[in-house]
Amino acid sequence: MSYNVSVAQGQFFDKVFALPVRIYYEDTDAGGIVYYANYLKFAERARTEYIRALGCTQSEALEEEKCGFTVRHVEIDYKRPARLDDELVITCELQEVKGAAAVMHQEVLRGDDVLATIEVKVAYINLVKLRPVRIPEWLKTRSLDD
């Protein structure tokens, strides 16, 4: 039997991409609070779906261009805890692109409450040569256009 069920894909609100995430038992510690490192997983999922929503998958970039994004630097400011069964939204907004580098601003939201802010610097690299390469023009154009 085949089931016709869609995966949570998120959507753009102007330049901000938003991905829904539910907190499961596996995401929490014994007290039902989200383990701090899981915020990085949620942010990574949002960045992946952001790229997919622009019309490309990371697997296509890997196969066709032998390139991909790697995190160079990340800063997280934890403001409030997320808890078991929370319904969150993880946002992703491209702030800056320079050559092979990009800066993304992300937030973890529960309703109107900001639970965490995340600033991520990524580099686009050739995975064969392990060297930075320019971020494709189509990605910059789609992400920064009004």
Say which residues have a Cβ less than 8 Å from residue 35's Cβ, sequence separation at least 6.
27, 28, 29
60-94 per-position pLDDT tens digit: 767 777 888 899 999 999 999 999 999 999 999 99
Using the structure block, give the residue that is written with the tokens 């959507």.
Answer: 11
- Within 10 angstroms of residue 2's Cβ, the number of other Cβ atoms is 4
pTM over 0.75: yes
The pLDDT > 90 percentage for the chain reads: 72
How many residues make up the chain in this entry? 146
Q: What is the pLDDT of residues 11-20, one digit of tens each?
A: 999 999 999 9
Active site positions, annotated: 29
In order of 1, 61, 79, 116, 118, the CA distances from 108 in angstroms are 36, 27, 10, 5, 8
Taking the C-alpha atoms of residue 101 and residue 15, their distance in angstroms, rounded to an integer, is 19
Domains of the chain, first to last: 11-144 (3.10.129.10)
